[in-house]
């Protein structure tokens, strides 16, 4: 599967396998990437290609051009706000220092890793891209399922004997299970990051239903759904449900959708009856908890996490209203939003008192929403560029699905499912440190290269 005379290929696939592993103590100099094992392989691979002078730039590709424009505006917006950036200070961090660290993190994902993905992918056939990447993700899913199985037994069902399995599993590279609770994180450090991993690979796993035969073609999808349920992530439950709908609407005719829905209902009903026979009360309570967790309006006054999340988004929008055109500069939101936290979010909320508003805690508070963050930091100009990137990418993918066939069409369907999920997920997270996002954009760049006479 891997070519020994091209070690950067090996580093690429190792990075894809290990990218959800982030529960170890890494090198502090890598900042936000210090605990993310995939970054080590991708960074090493890029350095190897750079010194071998094998870096190709897709300068004439429209996707890459839009990315460059967005990255350029992140810098220009900050430059236009330089006086305020220079005078900003909070949590022992100056505005300039904050921008430099945030921008380097963005460039690592959007330039360094993107170009590494692209330069590996352009050396591969479309069939290789589909089957090799998918196989690596399948192996990682099997690994996550094994770890998740023991975590469910130990944390969810309270079988203490299952905890002994982690004495062996902790020998696995880049893996240190620190906490076992009723929400699984499997090979990741926390359930939210594990949810991002599941959203990232879901399209690849769904595609087995298009290319394989027999009952086993459903196994990867079933594993995704089961792990999503036990992760307890509201976002993952919603996003992956939407991804499933997008996948079937794209690949199945109306008649087949009805037919397969009936079959799936029968199978699901049978499995549900079997599960309820063995552990009915536990499952009923679990479903009730999942449904209750989706009631955001009710939880706004009961759930501290939701108070913080919506409070941060509200504050970001207030910053946007004060600086609507160019924003306040990349990475600068907190210096302004800390004066706009609503009373209903701060009241009886220990997170604001102990962390977010506490200058002694160096970690900056999360924004919880990339779109509101872009609005506040980059203004209408920045959000327009980013929305255009989303629109252009989806438009190109839909064109490929409609006009291509075979592996290229399957790959385009994977891109549609994956990118749609990640773009929706940006409503809940505030970072571009998403390996799947830049991988999908790199694959799209490769798929559209021939049409646009991309420079190599």
pLDDT tens digits, one per residue of 186-205: 999 888 999 999 999 999 99
Mean of all residue pLDDT scores within the chain: 88
Give the pLDDT of residue 259. Answer: 67
Number of H helices and E strands in the chain, helices first, is 21, 2
pTM assigned to the model: 0.89
As a whole number of Å, the CA-based R_g of the chain is: 22
Q: What are the structure tokens assigned to 112, written together? A: 């360094």
Least reliable range by pLDDT among 70-79, 340-349, 365-374:
340-349
Considering 254-263, 383-392, 442-451, the range whose residues carry the highest mean pLDDT is 383-392
156: closest CA among 178, 179, 183, 177? 183
Rounded distance, CA 307 to CA 50, Å? 46
Selected residue with higher pLDDT from 142 and 4: 142
pLDDT band at 258 (very low <50, low <70, confident <90, very high): low
Please report the DSSP string for 366-395 in residue order: P-S-HHHHHHHHHHHHHHHHHHHHHHHHHH
Residues 6+ apart with CB under 8 A from 449: 58, 61, 122, 456
Q: What are the structure tokens assigned to 10, written together? A: 């090996």
Q: Is 332:90 a contact under the CB 8 Å cutoff?
A: no
Hey, is 50 helix, strand or coil?
A: helix
């Amino acid at each position: 599967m891997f070519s020994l005379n091209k070690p950067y290929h090996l580093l690429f696939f190792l990075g894809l396998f290990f990218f959800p592993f982030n529960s170890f103590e890494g090198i502090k100099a890598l900042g936000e990437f210090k605990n993310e094992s995939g970054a080590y392989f991708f960074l090493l691979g890029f350095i190897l290609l750079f010194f071998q002078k094998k870096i190709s730039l897709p300068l004439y590709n429209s996707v890459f051009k839009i990315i460059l424009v967005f990255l350029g505006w992140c810098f220009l917006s900050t430059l236009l706000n330089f006086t305020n950036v220079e005078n900003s200070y909070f949590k022992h961090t100056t505005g300039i220092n904050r921008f430099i660290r945030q921008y380097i993190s963005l460039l690592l994902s959007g330039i360094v890793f993107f170009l590494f993905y692209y330069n590996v992918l352009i050396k591969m056939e479309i069939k290789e891209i589909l089957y090799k990447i998918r196989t690596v993700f399948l192996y990682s899913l099997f690994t996550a399922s094994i770890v998740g199985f023991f975590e469910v037994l130990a944390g969810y069902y309270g079988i203490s004997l299952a905890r002994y399995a982690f004495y062996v599993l902790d020998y696995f590279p880049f893996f240190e299970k620190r906490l076992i609770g009723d929400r699984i994180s499997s090979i990741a450090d926390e359930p939210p990051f594990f949810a991002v991993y599941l959203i990232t690979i879901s399209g690849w796993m769904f595609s087995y239903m298009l290319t394989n035969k027999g009952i086993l073609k459903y196994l990867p999808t079933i594993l995704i759904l089961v792990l999503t349920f036990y992760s307890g992530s509201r976002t993952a439950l919603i996003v992956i449900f939407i991804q499933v709908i997008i996948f079937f609407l794209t690949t199945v005719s109306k008649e087949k959708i009805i037919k397969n829905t009936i079959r799936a209902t029968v199978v699901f009903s049978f499995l549900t009856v079997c599960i309820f026979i063995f552990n009915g009360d536990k499952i009923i309570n679990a479903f009730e908890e999942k449904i209750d967790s989706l009631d955001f309006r009710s939880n706004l006054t009961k759930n501290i996490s939701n108070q913080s999340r919506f409070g941060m988004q509200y504050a970001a929008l207030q910053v946007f209203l004060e600086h609507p055109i160019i924003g306040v500069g990349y990475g600068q939101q907190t210096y302004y939003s800390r004066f706009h936290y609503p009373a209903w979010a701060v009241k009886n909320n220990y997170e604001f008192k102990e962390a977010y508003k506490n200058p002694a805690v160096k970690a900056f508070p999360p924004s919880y929403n990339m779109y509101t963050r872009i609005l506040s930091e980059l203004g209408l100009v920045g959000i327009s560029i980013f929305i255009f990137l989303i629109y252009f990418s989806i438009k190109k993918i839909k064109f490929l699905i409609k006009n291509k066939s075979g592996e290229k069409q399957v790959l385009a369907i994977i891109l549609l499912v994956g990118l749609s999920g990640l773009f929706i997920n940006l409503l809940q997270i505030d970072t571009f440190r998403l390996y799947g996002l830049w991988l999908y954009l790199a694959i799209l760049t490769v798929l559209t290269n021939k049409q646009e006479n991309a420079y190599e």
